[in-house]
Amino acid sequence: MKTAPLDQTALDQLCINTIRTLAMDAVQKANSGHPGTPMALAPAAYVLWTKHLRFNPKNPKWVNRDRFILSSGHACMLQYAMLFLTGYDLTLADIKQFRQWGSKTPGHPEYGETPGIEATTGPLGQGVGNSVGFAIAEASLAARFNQSGGKEIVDHYTYAICSDGDLMEGVSHEAASLAGHLRLSKLIWLYDDNHITIEGNTDLAYGDDACARFAAYGWHTQAVEDGNDTAAIDAAVTAAKADQRPSFIRIRTHIAYGAPHLQDNAKAHGSPLGEDEIRATKKFYGWPEDAHFLVPDDVLAHMREAVDRGAELEAEWRALFDAYAAKYPDLARRFNDEQAQLLPEDWAADLPTWQPSDGPLATRIASSKTINAIAKAVPYFLGGSADLAPSTETLIAGGGDFEAGNYGGRNLHFGIREHAMGAALNGMWLHGGLRPFGATFLIFSDYMRPAVRLAALTKIPAIYVWTHDSVGLGEDGPTHQSIEQLASLRAMPNMTVMRPADANETAICWRLALEHEGGPVGLALTRQKIPIFEAAAVKGAERGGYVLEREGSRLQLILIGTGSEVQVCIGARALLQAAGIGTRVVSLPCWSIFDAQDREYRDEVLPPDVTARVAVEAAAPLGWERYIGARGAMVGMRRFGASAPGEVNMKEFGFTPERVAAVARKLL
């Protein structure tokens, strides 16, 4: 591709104004949306798409494409215009359907809805957070697959456009700090410095020297003082690519550029300009004032050169890959399999199992052993923690550290940056070729929640290792003890929460997590030791819930537990059985998997005519009604926890066989 500075011609200007007017017209037609930012960013987008981005519109999934993420997702008409003009499977009719039910042009970019959209954005800061994950993935794949030292099969940039809001959000600070530390040199952020947010001028709330901030993170920084200066933008991107640090380009723009009454006005952020203002703006651009959705033929022809260019780029890469495959057939096969997220045959054959005599064992320790077995069998499985690897037990032994200069390492160190970790995991998976996990305490799932929610919304199968999962963790006290987290995570669509009751259930949950598609999986694991069941007794964990201990006589009572509280249920059952009450214990490690079983199975585990049921979980009771019904009881947490040894907490908060048995008896 040419990299000489762009000498702006009349045709360039026509293209830029086409992008602008498409955004204005689409927002006006929808009577909703964000016109001002696409108008201001059109020159930058034009430079990026025509001069720098390597992509193939006819194969948006080409693996070595450059990635582009619009972190300021509200400006998505910019991206839709670019995707349409450069020849993706997106038509002018789709643009006219902006923000309508079922359209390919939703109100914020949604992964999976529109070809060429790499990540769902809109919650400010997430896209830039994702971009760090994309760059991590590129570096990881490059380190593990590239062989030649010349033209390589994994070699692409990750670009993100971000706004004032993105940079104010905390996650951008975490993510940028991490990227700088890791020296992710192929990451480039273009900052839309327009001095405007929704409430007005950024002076109201924001005075950061953005370039100084990024320089302090170890980024390469540049400033372009005129967002219409395509040559300067082009030169800045060229310099950014050449630098061996992540790059930050501040571009001073003017929201709603060219609108006589609305340029530099916060009103242009999130409302249609209005027909009169649109006509006046078109006049300023030298555009036919009454034309709507006008795409001049020469503009389309010029922009669609991206189709041939993309085909060539991909063909070139395919030749490179074919040569690679001839030389390194095993690596090439693995590369393709991992891109397809294929688990190696028999990958789960060597997952650990335990005997009761091996216990008691914390489920976090069982998880550690399982992680290491998975890591041996699945080379693209990798992850890390937010500075809690020794506590979450997530180190891959012999995996090496993913660090600047050693991007082949499989242990990521996200630092104390849970939110960036969540966002980066999303980016790593969206990039392709990796199956990532991230770890912290269950309580700090709150610190990564916006990213977890986007993983769920986007159906990203990230795996979260959330340990120290209840008041049972002990002395660290109520700040560290999760209460409402399980309920709130279970309330999230597409989110799978698993809370295994022992080591063997933990290994099963991990296997299910690896095989899971369609959303993230969170494993809630204990800090404290718990006894181990016979492996054969817990096989039913595969179905989310199962009868762990059967009633000795006629079934009168069902005790349902998860995690460490299954032990409490077992103790209570012994007391109740001794009193002649036929009691079964159901272990329910995963509600959503259990709910997906057929009715016959569910009714077998929880017979509908047995209404005396007690749920036992050291967490907020919300949601348990569905399993205990109107007549059931819940032994849970209705307050915050306390600082005391874990066993004391469990006793004081009523997680004892005696209390559960007493609660149960009242139901009979």
Taking the complex as a whole, the smallest distance from the CB of residue 72 to ligand TPP amounts, in Å, to: 5
CA diameter of the chain: 91
- Residue 564 to residues 471, 480, 524, 588, 646, Cα–Cα distance (Å): 11, 17, 10, 11, 11
Contact pattern for ligand TPP over residues 202 through 241, marking x by CB under 6 A: ----------------------------------------
- In the block, residue with structure tokens 């643009």: 95
| 445 contact, one of Mg ion, ligand TPP, none, CB 5-8 Å limit per kind | none
Taking the complex as a whole, the smallest distance from the CB of residue 85 to ligand TPP amounts, in Å, to: 21
Judge contact between 393 and 447, C-beta under 8 A.
Answer: no
Taking the complex as a whole, the smallest distance from the CB of residue 444 to ligand TPP amounts, in Å, to: 19
Q: What are phi and psi of 146, to 5 degrees?
A: -65, 140
Taking the complex as a whole, the smallest distance from the CB of residue 36 to ligand TPP amounts, in Å, to: 7
Distance, CA of 494 to CA of 5 (rounded, Å): 47
| 490 contact, one of Mg ion, ligand TPP, none, CB 5-8 Å limit per kind | none
Closest to 145 in 3D by CA, of 434, 397, 403, 438: 434
Q: Is 255 one of the binding residues for ligand TPP (CB under 6 A)?
A: yes
- Cβ proximity to ligand TPP: between 269 and 413 the closer is 269
Number of residues near Mg ion (by CB under 5 A)? 4
Closest to 386 in 3D by CA, of 433, 441, 449, 339: 441
Query: 277, 418, 549, 565: which is the annotated catalytic residue?
Result: 418
- Hey, which residues between 370 and 429 contact ligand TPP (CB under 6 A)? none
Closest to 440 in 3D by CA, of 454, 427, 451: 451
- Residue 607 token pair: 């017979």
Q: Is 177 one of the binding residues for ligand TPP (CB under 6 A)?
A: no
- Cβ proximity to Mg ion: between 163 and 526 the closer is 163
Taking the complex as a whole, the smallest distance from the CB of residue 78 to ligand TPP amounts, in Å, to: 10
- Hey, which residues between 180 and 219 contact Mg ion (CB under 5 A)? 194, 196
- Hey, which residues between 152 and 181 contact Mg ion (CB under 5 A)? 163-164
Q: How many CA atoms lie within 13 A of 542 on its CB side?
A: 7
Q: Is 269 one of the binding residues for ligand TPP (CB under 6 A)?
A: yes
Q: Is 196 one of the binding residues for ligand TPP (CB under 6 A)?
A: yes
Question: How buried is residue 191: exposed, middle or buried, by Cβ count under 10 Å (0-12/13-18/19+)?
Answer: buried
| 74 contact, one of ligand TPP, Mg ion, none, CB 5-8 Å limit per kind | ligand TPP
- Hey, which residues between 122 and 151 contact ligand TPP (CB under 6 A)? 122-124
- Residue 431 to residues 65, 112, 435, 647, Cα–Cα distance (Å): 10, 13, 10, 44
Q: Which residue is nearest to Mg ion (CB)?
A: 164
Taking the complex as a whole, the smallest distance from the CB of residue 265 to Mg ion amounts, in Å, to: 12
Judge contact between 383 and 438, C-beta under 8 A.
Answer: yes
- Residue 29 token pair: 């037609």
- Hey, which residues between 544 and 583 contact Mg ion (CB under 5 A)? none
What SS3 state is found at 209?
coil
- In the block, residue with structure tokens 């205990």: 628
**In Å, how far from its chain's centre is CA 491?**
17
Bridge partners (DSSP) of residue 522 are 464, 497
- Residue 412 to residues 138, 339, 421, 560, Cα–Cα distance (Å): 14, 20, 10, 37
Distance, CA of 599 to CA of 601 (rounded, Å): 5
- Cβ proximity to ligand TPP: between 70 and 532 the closer is 70
Taking the complex as a whole, the smallest distance from the CB of residue 586 to ligand TPP amounts, in Å, to: 40
| 44 contact, one of ligand TPP, Mg ion, none, CB 5-8 Å limit per kind | none
Helices (H), 459-547: 485-490, 503-515
Q: Which residue is nearest to ligand TPP (CB)?
A: 165
The region of 116-124, 153-161, 579-587, 637-645 touching ligand TPP under the rule CB under 6 A is: 116-124
- Cβ proximity to ligand TPP: between 74 and 511 the closer is 74
Taking the complex as a whole, the smallest distance from the CB of residue 340 to ligand TPP amounts, in Å, to: 33
- Cβ proximity to ligand TPP: between 23 and 508 the closer is 23
Taking the complex as a whole, the smallest distance from the CB of residue 449 to Mg ion amounts, in Å, to: 25
The amino acid at 466: W
Q: Where are any strands of DSSP class E within 71-213?
A: 158-162, 187-193, 196-197, 200-201
Q: How many CA atoms lie within 13 A of 663 on its CB side?
A: 25
Judge contact between 233 and 224, C-beta under 8 A.
Answer: yes
The region of 127-135, 194-202, 452-460, 565-573 touching ligand TPP under the rule CB under 6 A is: 194-202
Q: Is 163 one of the binding residues for ligand TPP (CB under 6 A)?
A: yes
- Cβ proximity to ligand TPP: between 8 and 271 the closer is 271
Is 542 among the residues known to form the active site?
no
Taking the complex as a whole, the smallest distance from the CB of residue 197 to Mg ion amounts, in Å, to: 5
Number of residues near ligand TPP (by CB under 6 A)? 17
Q: Is 194 one of the binding residues for ligand TPP (CB under 6 A)?
A: yes
- Cβ proximity to ligand TPP: between 16 and 373 the closer is 16
- Residue 46 token pair: 């034009």
Judge contact between 417 and 445, C-beta under 8 A.
Answer: no
- Residue 509 token pair: 């949950």
One of 17, 37, 482, 506 touching ligand TPP (CB under 6 A)? 37
- Hey, which residues between 47 and 86 contact ligand TPP (CB under 6 A)? 72, 74-75
- Give just the sign of the alpha carbon dihedral 667, 570, 654, 477: negative
| 72 contact, one of ligand TPP, Mg ion, none, CB 5-8 Å limit per kind | ligand TPP
Distance, CA of 456 to CA of 459 (rounded, Å): 5
- In the block, residue with structure tokens 């360039």: 12
- Cβ proximity to Mg ion: between 77 and 196 the closer is 196
Binding site for Mg ion (CB under 5 A): 163-164, 194, 196
Active site residues: 418
Using CB under 6 A, list all residues that contact ligand TPP. 37, 72, 74-75, 122-124, 163-165, 169, 194, 196-198, 255, 269
